[in-house]
Structure 1
Amino acid sequence: MAASRRLTQFALVMTVAAALAAAGCASGLGGGTYQRTEARRTMTVQFGTVESVRPVLLEGTKTPVGAGAGAAVGGLAGSTIGHGRGAAAGAILGAVAGGLAGAAIEEGVTRRQGVEITVRLEGGSYLAVVQEDEGEQFRPGERVRLLRDGGTTRVTR
């Protein structure tokens, strides 16, 4: 019985470690973060002046990894309750509760602070861009450049 409990605890620790590692792999959404596929692509550059900056919250990722890891951990933990049918019911309830908790944990761990930057372009039009706050601290009146590739727009200095 003790060996079975150690195996369950080991599986629990490994599952949580895998979920946290996967959550840590989430890519950044800031102005200075590029995906590998964006290398050597042409971008349009526009210049403008920052009109306003406000903090926003970028929701975290919602992948099957968090829910799956939570369900596995919850199922293992629930299966240790009772014997026979009680263990099976505990495993099912534990998996459901663990899946919900795992999804919530993943979303919370990967949530990021962001900024909404409103820029007045040289032609007089306005554009607002939301990106992860990487500590650049844009200020109203500051001259910036906007980089566009057809799907992504980022504000940089």
Structure 2
Amino acid sequence: MNIRNLLTVAVTGTALLLGGCATSDSANVYKRSQMRNAATVQSGVVEQVREVRMEDSTGIGAVAGGVIGGVAAGRNIGGGSGRVVSGVIGTIVGGLIGNRLEEQLTSKDALEVTVLLDNGQRLVVVQEADQPLAPEQRVNVLSDGQNTRVVPSNDPPPGSRPSRGASPAALTL
């Protein structure tokens, strides 16, 4: 197998491996283990939304790239002790390339959302940037003790809800 074919197989395999490791940190995605588990809900108002990057590098890309680079360079460049040197250089370069590839495949746009809860408590949640949130927006903060997410709320602000026993006629002005 020549170097070009080996590198093509290596890059494709690394991309598939890293793609399989990617997980969603979206407020809209639940894991199977979260199904049918109760979560608490607290309401509040978004104070601030800041765009951030979420990275989840595992080191697999660097290791895979280093192995592939070392083997490819050691087998195809130089002879004798030159193969050892080219293998070491190939390992370093392959590791750097593999690490960079993994970072690009696993990083995501995210939001750091600061929420002022109705009880006066402030909290910050970082989640994938696939849920549109804006300052002064009413939100619900859902937490099951391990995962917390911020989602838009349809509830009116506190104090503007009609009382439960009020008749529709009493609500008209």
TM-score range, shorter chain: 0.7 to 0.9
**What amino acid is aligned across from residue 90 of structure 1 in structure 2?**
S
Q: Percent identity?
A: 37
Matching of residue 69 in structure 1 with residue 64 in structure 2? yes
Question: Alignment partner of 1:45: what SS?
Answer: strand
CA contact (8 A) 1:71 1:102 kept: yes
CA contact (8 A) 1:50 1:117 kept: yes
Matching of residue 127 in structure 1 with residue 152 in structure 2? no
CA contact (8 A) 1:12 1:76 kept: no
CA contact (8 A) 1:49 1:144 kept: yes
- Written as runs of structure 1 = structure 2, the 5 A alignment for 1:33-52 is 33-52=29-48
CA contact (8 A) 2:6 2:72 kept: no
- Written as runs of structure 1 = structure 2, the 5 A alignment for 1:106-145 is 106-134=102-130, 136-145=131-140
CA RMSD, Structure 1 to Structure 2 (Å): 1.6
Whole-Å Cα distance in 1 between the matches of residues 94 and 68 of structure 2?
A: 6
CA contact (8 A) 1:31 1:131 kept: yes
| Unaligned 5+ runs, structure 1 | none
Whole-Å Cα distance in 2 between the matches of residues 97 and 132 of structure 1?
A: 32
CA contact (8 A) 1:48 1:145 kept: yes
**What amino acid is aligned across from residue 147 of structure 2 in structure 1?**
T
Whole-Å Cα distance in 2 between the matches of residues 64 and 128 of structure 1?
A: 28
- Written as runs of structure 1 = structure 2, the 5 A alignment for 1:90-105 is 90-105=86-101
The CA deviation string for residues 7-52 of structure 1, in whole angstroms up to 9 with x for no partner, is x433322221111112223001121122232222221111111111
CA contact (8 A) 1:57 1:114 kept: yes
Normalising by structure 1, we get a TM-score of 0.86
CA contact (8 A) 1:16 1:73 kept: no
Quote the offset at 1:112 in angstroms.
Answer: 1.0
CA contact (8 A) 2:112 2:127 kept: yes
Rg bigger for which structure? 2
Provide the aligned length of Structure 1 versus Structure 2.
Answer: 150
- Written as runs of structure 1 = structure 2, the 5 A alignment for 1:9-48 is 9-25=4-20, 26-48=22-44
Whole-Å Cα distance in 2 between the matches of residues 13 and 40 of structure 1?
A: 44
Quote the offset at 1:95 in angstroms.
Answer: 1.1
Normalising by structure 2, we get a TM-score of 0.79
| Unaligned 5+ runs, structure 2 | 153-173
